[in-house]
Amino acid sequence: MFLKLKLLVFILLFSSNIFSQNNSPKKASLLSMACPGLGQLYNKKYWKTPIVIAGIGGAIYAHKFYNNKFQTYKEAYIIRTDGDDSTVDEYLNYSESGLISLQDYYRNQKDLSIIIGTIIYLLNIADAYVDAHLFEYNINENLSIKLEPYLNNQNNSLQLISLKLKLKE
């Protein structure tokens, strides 16, 4: 599986004839799908890559942390309720309902970390796609917006102030 991923990234990075455009949105999003942050590198937005990697890494770390806590309290509850006197209960200060509440809390946090990690992953792909599209965006000095107040005194109308928008090209 990991070898296939490496091969896909290698092919996408070093084959210019797969996608004909420079800074192709499709290529940027595929690179971000294959390896989070790679689409940002492709778009030359180097400062975004550590943010993406830290976000996904944080979600993975949180999932492992909460999963370990969940498993600990689950095993403690199983030990408490197994009826075997030879097992040692290390959590005597918690009641059975307290152990169940802790299990539920850490299960919910574990699930939330999966959701947050998925959202960060999808935002990473969307960001790479949008950034690749913005390379073609016209940033010309001739494009401007001029806002100015406008007073209308015709026909004794009671229009006090309006806003006039002019687009200069």
Residue 90 has pLDDT above 50, yes or no: yes
Q: How far apart are CA 96 and CA 83, in angstroms?
A: 13
Residue 162 has pLDDT above 90, yes or no: no
> What average pLDDT does this structure show over 47-56?
96
> What is residue 18's predicted lDDT score, i.e. its pLDDT?
44
> What average pLDDT does this structure show over 121-126?
96
Buried b or exposed e, range 1-18, using 16+ CB within 10 angstroms: eeeeeeeeeeebeeeeee
In tens, the pLDDT along 16-44 reads 544 445 778 999 999 999 999 999 999 99
Q: How far apart are CA 103 and CA 93, in angstroms?
A: 15
Please tell me the chain's helix, strand, coil percentages from 3-state DSSP, rounded to the nearest 5.
60, 10, 30
> What is residue 19's predicted lDDT score, i.e. its pLDDT?
43
Token pair, residue 106, equals 């850490």
In tens, the pLDDT along 53-81 reads 999 999 999 999 999 999 999 999 998 88
What rounded mean pLDDT belongs to the chain?
A: 82
SS3 62: helix
Q: Is the four-CA dihedral 9, 14, 15, 18 of positive or negative sign?
A: positive
> What are residue 136's DSSP bridge partners?
none
In tens, the pLDDT along 130-141 reads 999 888 776 666
Burial tier of 59 (Cβ tally within 10 Å: 0-12, 13-18, 19+): buried
Question: Looking at 8-12, 37-41, 66-70, 118-122, which range is the least confident one?
Answer: 8-12
Rg (CA), the chain: 28
Report the run of H or E that residue 7 belongs to, with start and end.
Answer: helix 2-14
CB atoms within 10 A of CB 101: 13
Burial tier of 164 (Cβ tally within 10 Å: 0-12, 13-18, 19+): exposed
CB atoms within 10 A of CB 130: 13
